[in-house]
């Protein structure tokens, strides 16, 4: 396959398993481009490599979700998100080119449906940084001239950490590394929303949307604003849970866009499917 054939293949791909030979074919084409000193073509090939990587991670996540291997699916979604961030500055995929718009949307929506809330975050000091392109050591007073994020010889420039001193571990709710999920002993995460979703989510490129709204918890229905708060804080309801929002819960709706009558299928008190 030449460049155009691979490009057309990825642009029109809507299956569940990518061709395994595409990375090797692209690597060979990039070598030829560099042998001919064609930096623009080498960069375009890098973009196709990234497209392939993003799709591959997303499909892996989709497969693991169906296999109920939820943590591995979470890691694959995180990887797809990271690879998309690398691609975004160099490649315009507006208009859902290569189905990347669908993938980006689904990744963000799926992540919201996971029960993970707390993560580890490492605290460390990096004493030396190196350029991934030329391998030179980088410091505040010494730069090799390569810009982080730019593409050189068909590869993205990044900084490689060396001589790392680990200082400690912190507990966070918004981590940079999403795979650092905390699994406390004896705690079982509830994946019922994802399990319910996957009953109907059969095609990885199927169009669906997640909406999250706030609804009043059952125990607070009819509560008087000037009455003692149900949480037993000793405060009035209006100065306690009504003010803080603790009387509300997140209500999830999944909208599948298919040729079917509009029906509502209750799954749990906080999760329903709305078919369109």
Packed helices 39-66 and 192-200: angle between N→C axes, nearest 10 degrees: 110
- Whether 76 and 61 have beta carbons less than 8 Å apart is answered as yes
pLDDT value of residue 77: 97
Helix (H, G, I), strand (E, B) or coil at 257: coil
Give me the tens of pLDDT residue by residue for the chain, a chain 276 residues long: 999 999 999 999 999 999 999 999 999 999 999 999 999 999 999 999 999 999 999 999 999 999 999 999 999 999 999 999 999 999 998 889 999 999 999 999 999 999 999 999 989 999 999 999 999 999 888 889 999 999 999 999 999 998 899 999 999 988 888 999 999 888 899 999 999 999 999 999 999 989 989 999 999 999 999 999 999 999 999 999 999 999 999 888 888 886 543 333 333 333 333 332
pLDDT value of residue 176: 82
Q: How many CB atoms lie within 10 A of CB 173?
A: 9
pLDDT value of residue 266: 32
- Whether 123 and 167 have beta carbons less than 8 Å apart is answered as yes
CA distances from 68 to 61, 65, 191, 194 (A): 10, 5, 9, 9
Q: How crowded is the C-beta side of 73, counted as CA atoms within 13 Å? A: 24
85 Cβ neighbours under 8 A, 6+ residues apart: none
pTM for this predicted structure = 0.85
Tokens of 266: 């209750």
pLDDT value of residue 258: 65
């Amino acid at each position: 396959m030449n460049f155009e054939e691979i490009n057309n293949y990825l642009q029109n791909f809507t299956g569940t398993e990518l061709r395994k030979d595409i990375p090797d074919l692209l690597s060979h084409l990039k070598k030829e481009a560099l042998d001919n000193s064609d930096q623009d073509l080498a960069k375009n090939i890098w973009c196709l490599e990234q497209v392939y990587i993003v799709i591959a991670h997303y499909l892996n996540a989709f497969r693991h979700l169906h296999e109920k291997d939820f943590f591995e699916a979470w890691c694959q979604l995180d990887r797809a998100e990271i690879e998309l961030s690398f691609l975004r500055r160099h490649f315009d995929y507006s208009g859902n080119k290569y189905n990347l718009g669908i993938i980006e949307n689904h990744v963000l929506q799926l992540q919201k449906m996971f029960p993970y809330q707390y993560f580890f975050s490492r605290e460390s000091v990096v004493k030396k940084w190196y350029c991934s392109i030329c391998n030179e050591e980088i410091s505040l007073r010494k730069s090799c001239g390569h810009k982080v994020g730019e593409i050189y010889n068909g590869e993205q420039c990044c900084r490689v950490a060396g001589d790392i001193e680990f200082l400690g571990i912190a507990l966070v709710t918004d981590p940079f590394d999403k795979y650092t999920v905390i699994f406390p002993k004896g705690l079982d995460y509830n994946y019922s929303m994802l399990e319910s979703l996957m009953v109907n989510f059969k095609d990885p490129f199927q169009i669906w949307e997640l909406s999250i709204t706030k609804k009043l918890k059952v125990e607070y229905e009819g509560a008087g604003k000037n009455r003692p708060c149900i949480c037993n804080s000793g405060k009035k309801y209006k100065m306690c849970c009504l003010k803080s929002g603790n009387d509300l819960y997140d209500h999830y709706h999944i909208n599948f866009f298919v040729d079917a009558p509009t029906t509502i299928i209750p799954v749990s008190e906080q999760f329903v499917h709305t078919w369109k």
